Structure 1
Amino acid sequence: MKMIRYARFGPPEVLEMVEAPQPHAGPGQIRISVEAAGINPHDWRSRRGQFERVRPLDLPAGVGQDAAGVVDEIGPGVHSVSIGDEVFGRGTSTYAEYAVLSSWAPKPDTLTFAQAAGYPSVSETALRVLDEIDVPPGGTLLVSGAAGGVGSAVVQIAIDRSIDVIGIAGAQNQEYLHALGARATTYGTGWVDRARALGPVDAALDLSGSGVLPGLLELVGDRHRVITIADLESAMLGIRFSGVGGDMTIALNTTVDLIRRGVLSIPISQTYPLSDAARAHEDSEAGHTRGRRVIDIRRETAPT
């Protein structure tokens, strides 16, 4: 099978498409024929070697956690799916024609495979950080990086919970945030004053890691009411970094319910062929995403 891997840490160019043996489902796992794989910041941060101090990685290594596809192998102890079922979920080395998933849920019929591949990690993260920040109904949450994948989910789920949202995003995404139901302002000089003018806030989430933590702390006034998922230097300010901890299976089933109720819809900003994984990472690292970027495994293009 074709898959993307890297043999050393570094820039996007270290990614290569290779022929590799198909993986097999172990106990409590399933294998899918991958139709699409979601692109997450975790993917390129791992490729850079940013997690080596806490989770050393054996190289060469595959890339990707999120995927959607068709079940074609079922591991021991799994009874909830059948061969041929369409699912989406989280696994390992998902930038590939076949991947093993450890958490999954039925793909909603209203979603394409590409759309479904964009949900697992972002919806789990959004649900987790909203529970951790614990803003009550009627409260106001400030969200930096509000137009990205996690941000889009946070805004929609928060509003469904009757939480008022102020979103910070690029100028090109202001109308998008308004359409989701958030008040919005831009980054750049004076962003703290612009956010303050929109009203007092009870808590803040940093989803982009754009150096905004001091400003968020100034606006909230309590370091315990600020959480980041992106700024690895947060400990210097005494601000909590939320990286893991949610139950992925519960999050996926909650996501299915939110989608079916019409609460949650995450757009795809761009799709890439498997052979273009390096460019996908380059674009993801540049930021300014509206919604999700996805690798379409079945899309045929000329080799890079």
Structure 2
Amino acid sequence: MDIKRLYIPSFGFSLLIITSLFIKSIEKKMKVYLVPIMLLCFLYFVILFLTTIKRNSLFKNPIALWKDVISKNPKHSEAYIEIGSLYMEQGKYQEAIMVYKKALEINPKSAKGYANLGLVYSKIGEIEEAMEMYKAAINLVPNYYPEIYNNLGVLYLKLGKYHEAIPFFKRAILINRNFPEAFVNWGNAYYFTKEYRKAIQKYREALNLDPNHIEANYNLGVILMKLGKMNEAFLQFKKTIQLAPYHSKAHFKIGMLYYYQKKYKEALKEFEMVVKLDPQNKDAREKIEEIRNLASKWPVVEQISERRKK
């Protein structure tokens, strides 16, 4: 008999028996700890589940989320600014003012805090306070926020200080050349000073950057109409309505252009649209009444118009 051949298979068999006995001994010991381990795992998953629910509810309420951040870090000024922005979006301006002030109390060098506070003051008509906040922001970051210069310029326009507003629009564009809003407001300043050619130039510059800028299209139409360029003005107002179908002022201007051409039916349609969009518009109501009084004369008017065309 070959002893060597018998030894090799017996080694494997022995190893299997030893391993089996070892596992059984482990299982006996594990039974003692199995219940506590399972209980701990269960508690862990329950805590994880509840935490997830809490976080999800916070994400559904951004203000609550940022308040949670503040509860963990009361000196987090950016969290206050974010809450202020959310309040401002909701029209809760007094609440926004309070949290912006808190942010500035924590970080007096927050240009964003001053700028946002200025925006809130502007929305509630506190012009002087708004200007003060914008200027504080500019002092901190003179070459960073073109929007602040633009907003400050708009406040000067509201105060009737048209020439003083222009340098702020210039500075805004110097920081960001691709800023159509600043070009439009610069054009508005020239419009108020009756420098119509300059205003047209600025509106066109705005439209070069953004051909679909509603205010630029409308304001350009207004000036062209003032200068007697009726066909060009008509195109601008039509473009405005394409971009903003409910732009009552553009509908009124188109109505007036039709009225000047004695196209009363078309004019009436536009004025009726104006009243539908803006029921308090007295000018449109007067024009509707005037045109309706002419209703019996329409055929005659149309014949005269046709003869003039020939």
Do Structure 1 and Structure 2 share a fold, with TM-score over 0.5?
Answer: no
Structure 1 or 2: more strand by fraction = 1
Structure 1 or 2: more helix by fraction = 2
- Normalised to the residue count of structure 2, the TM-score between the two structures is 0.23
- Normalised to the residue count of structure 1, the TM-score between the two structures is 0.23
Q: Which has the higher contact order (CA 8 A, sep 6+)?
A: 1
